[in-house]
Amino acid sequence: MSTSCNNQMRRLRPRDAKTCVVVGRAEAVARLQPLIAAHRKGRPVRLIGPACTPSDLNDAGAVLVVGDARISPRKALPGVFLQAANGRRVPAGWLPDVGDRLSTYARTAGEVQLRCQDDAARGPFVFLSELDDRALEVVDRVAAEMPPSEPVFRWTSERIRRDDLMAALQGGQGAALYFGHGVARGWAGYGGFDKSSASGSRGKPLGSILCLTCSVASRPRYGLSFCEEMVLSGLCSASLGATGRTLHESNVQLGLALAHALRSSSVMTISDLILSPDIRVDLLKRYRIIGDPLAPLIGAAGSVEKALAVFAPAPDDVLPVIPFSAWV
């Protein structure tokens, strides 16, 4: 390998580029090739069949498990971490083996993973919530703790309608955080935001969607959870969601901890985020990662400019004067 190639590999690899482990049946893993190829540009990747052992994870930076679609996220993984034989906590993501839908996911998640190569900045970050006083108060508190250098946008329910939000999310932001009520089929906010809304929001994929609410990673009576649907639709590379009910105060603490963790410039992926010492493990007890746990919190090219163009004013904002000529 030439010196220039060696230099390029050093530039592309993270400073601590541990192995990405992908676990699953050969047929399912084959459908993930676009994502696997994108990872291999920046880190080692090891493919393992369903019989994965803790010793297989000793050098892993994260593990993506693809398994039987009849198994729910709560039963598929014990939490957001698996434990390696050497005692390390390894961030773990889940994907149900749903045939060709994995191929759709792999193309969009591979696109997100390739953003790491462009020395792109983290963000933008988008705050979402239902029209509920407690949820809006949490957004106020968490957004105030975000690093001042980060591009942050507020698209909460009192500012934007569902159809406009769906269009806005097509800009491919680095991460979105949702606060408020949730159920297995989606968010209560925006008059209801479900899998059809997620599919209709697909454009440039988001890095991650973090849902600090109840039950969005739990399975309804029929079908997949909302978090699984968001990821498999190609809306985002990874989602974080709860497999059951969560306490409001715990979600407040988790939101604040996430904001504090983001003050570190070394936090570039959802795995970095949950491994941060700012986040207590007990706050993540009911949560699961769906999709790539190494999804970067990096938006698509031009995502900040597209977010700036979204019309989502606060109720007390002074609106611009539109000339009469624009209406005729």
Q: Which residue has the higher pLDDT, 149 or 3?
A: 149
Neighbours of 235 (CB within 10 A): 28
pLDDT over 90 at 214, yes or no: yes
Confidence (pLDDT) at 27: 96
Per residue in 165-191, pLDDT (tens digit) is 999 999 999 999 999 999 999 999 999
Average pLDDT over residues 33-61: 95
Q: What is the DSSP letter of 62?
A: E
Confidence (pLDDT) at 315: 81
Confidence of residue 1 (pLDDT cuts 50, 70, 90): very low
pLDDT over 80 at 30, yes or no: yes
Average pLDDT over residues 301-314: 94
Give 199-250 as a DSSP string: HHT-SBPEEEEEEESSSTTS--SSS--HHHHHHHTTSEEEEEEESS---HHH
Q: Do domains 3-114 and 120-308 have the same CATH topology?
A: yes
What are the CA-CA distances from residue 235 to residues 190, 203, 243, 300, 310 (Å)? Answer: 17, 7, 20, 12, 18
- Contacts (Cβ under 8 Å, ≥6 apart) of 323: none
The predicted model scores a pTM of: 0.91
Which tokens is 39 given? 């990872």
The domain spans of the chain are 3-114, 120-308
- Contacts (Cβ under 8 Å, ≥6 apart) of 183: 214, 215, 216, 220, 226
Q: Burial level of 285, CB count in 10 A (0-12/13-18/19+)?
A: middle
Per residue in 249-285, pLDDT (tens digit) is 999 999 999 999 999 999 999 999 999 999 999 999 9
The CATH number that domain 120-308 falls under is 3.40.50.1460
pLDDT over 80 at 103, yes or no: yes
Q: Spell out the CATH class of 3-114.
A: alpha beta
pLDDT over 80 at 117, yes or no: no
d(CA 305, CA 325): 26
